[in-house]
Amino acid sequence: MKFKFLTISASLALGMVSFTALGQLYLDPASRSPDSRATPQANSQGSAEPLLNRLVVKFKDQPATRGKELSVSDRTSEQRLLELGAAHAMQTREGVNIALNFLKTTASQAQVALTSEAMDRTTMNALVQRLAQDPSVEYAEIDERAYPQMTPTDPLFATDQSSMKPGGAGNLGGANFSAAWDRTASGVALNGAGVVVAVLDGGYRSHADLGSNVLPGYDFVSQDNIGVYTTANDGNSRDNDALDPGNWNSTASVGCPIADSSWHGTHVAGTIAALGNNGLGVIGAAYGAKILPVRVLGVCGGYVSDIADGIRWAAGLAVAGVPNNTTPARVINLSLGGTGVCGTTYQSAITAARNAGTVVLAATGNGSSYDTLYAPANCSGVIAVTAHTGSGASSLTANIGLGTTISAPGTIIQSTSNTGTTTPLADTYATKSGTSMAVPHVAGVVALIMQAVPGITPDQVSIALTSSARAFPAGTYCVGKYNTVNSCGAGLLDADAAVNAALYPATSSSGGGGGGGGSFGWLELGGLVTLLAAAWGLRRHTSQGQGSR
């Protein structure tokens, strides 16, 4: 948006105190048509709010209502508003007057006024503050819009999806998606529309509650040895079929117990982008986003070399022997991990994906560790996600440690699944727990942020998530002396607060910052971490709750 200077200077007559300009407003006089006065235009960035052109002003000495004589009061009010606007002598650089035009009188005898130019919220707030300072004005405020508060029609939302609901009494761990869904971006519901989220997992199963939200993906699971496809379990190596054939294991081995098929990737995909308001099952965190399934896991897991290639391909980067990805992802969900340090294979792929503008998220792991994250969550540039319970306490099995970015709901998460214990059968829903279930909640928030702020960078996304996180509840492990190295991350995920933080980033004291520049630049990450560290160091905590810390 190109802003023009709007200088306010005034000499108020008619009983009003004279005053000079207190500063400058910034105005975009993009349209001066009569239609623009009646209908605020969308912000050109498409990431904030519609432009504003209505405010409410009430004068201190408003005449009393006299029944049918209200029209006389209206005419008086109209004249006073015109005089107020003229006295302020508001003009754009091009010399166009910015007038206050009377629209109507409210039941409380306040006046609704239209500005002749639509303004962004910052500009309108500044104007309102100046009007409110006038001695003749009792109050002035923006005539805000209210919107229907969406309650999803998906039946399991009401009963089994507390993780998507606001955090509050009885649900302190809720991630507050329902509030974020009430927002709009460029007039479109905020639901992740236009954003591709890659799920690097065991593939997916077609499901009625995923529907058209799943894009064609790719199977990166390669042969274990020459002609051996135990991990792949589909009789072949890499191909364009990302469907999950099942990952059951009937022969116990070290690190790989006997188990039924988990349909893990389908569950993760549903948490991110199950269809919303379709009267069926669950709703996804970003129910308008598209899932790019990238199969990298099979029986007994998967290889880092396959996962790293999958990361590159998902981000739109070339992988030898594999067709180019025509739908690159802006978000990569890695609900997987293994012990050990972050190796070069992982790190180089993650760095390449981030350089391509893709946000990479990974699970910290389910090893009940207090000081160690699994790879790739311990790689540089990854948003490392741990899990908490419905009470907001750290899940007992979730790894925490230095490098954890944020905590998200990860206990008893309901999502899409399949009834097959080996090979796939019918659609169903299932509950799962773990850091694997926490990551897709954060991935969903990132998709919402990217719809709202299309040009946002991975670093800016991380700042929005961490700067908006809610504090861990009092009395839980993550508050106090056990968290002296910030091992639990910035706090509890809050979807609506994170979107708001992305739309209206903190002003940078350095005047620069990563993406915004000037006085509206992004708060630098180092300073943010320092502030959070200082705040956390003051808190006390004790361990609490079965299945939680």
CB atoms within 10 A of CB 20: 8
How many whole angstroms separate alpha carbon 479 and alpha carbon 81? 53
Q: Three-state SS for 498?
A: helix
Are 297 and 287 within 8 A, CB to CB?
A: no
Q: Taking the CA atoms of the chain, what radius of gyration do you get in angstroms?
A: 27
Question: Residue 28 corresponds to which tokens in the numbers above?
Answer: 């975009």
Q: Select which of 395, 436, 467, 487 is catalytic.
A: 436
- The pair phi, psi for residue 448, each rounded to 5°, is -60, -45
How far, in Å, CA of 534 to CA of 528, rounded? Answer: 10
Residue 388 known to be catalytic: no
Q: From the candidates 201, 219, 306, 494, give the one annotated as an active-site residue.
A: 201
Question: What are the respective helix, strand and coil percentages of the chain, to the nearest 5?
Answer: 25, 20, 55
- Token pair for residue 258? 């006997």
What are the DSSP E strand ranges found in 353-405?
Answer: 359-363, 383-388
305 is catalytic: no
Residue in the structure block whose two tokens are 């809050």: 494
The pairing of strands 188-189 and 111-119 is unpaired
Helix (H, G, I), strand (E, B) or coil at 186: coil
Of 207, 264, 388, 441, which one is the catalytic site residue?
264
Q: Which of 124, 46, 110 is nearest to 81 (CA)?
A: 110
Residue with tokens 């042969």: 223
Contact 271, 284 (CB under 8 A): yes
Contact in structure between 260 and 436 (CB atoms under 8 Å): no
Q: How many residues are present in the chain?
A: 549
Determine the Cα–Cα distance for residues 309 and 370; give it in Å rounded to an integer: 30
**Tokens read off for 121:** 């919220």
For the question of residue 496 being annotated catalytic, the response is no
Query: 446 and 454 in contact (C-beta within 8 Å)?
Result: no
| Residues identified as active-site | 201, 264, 436
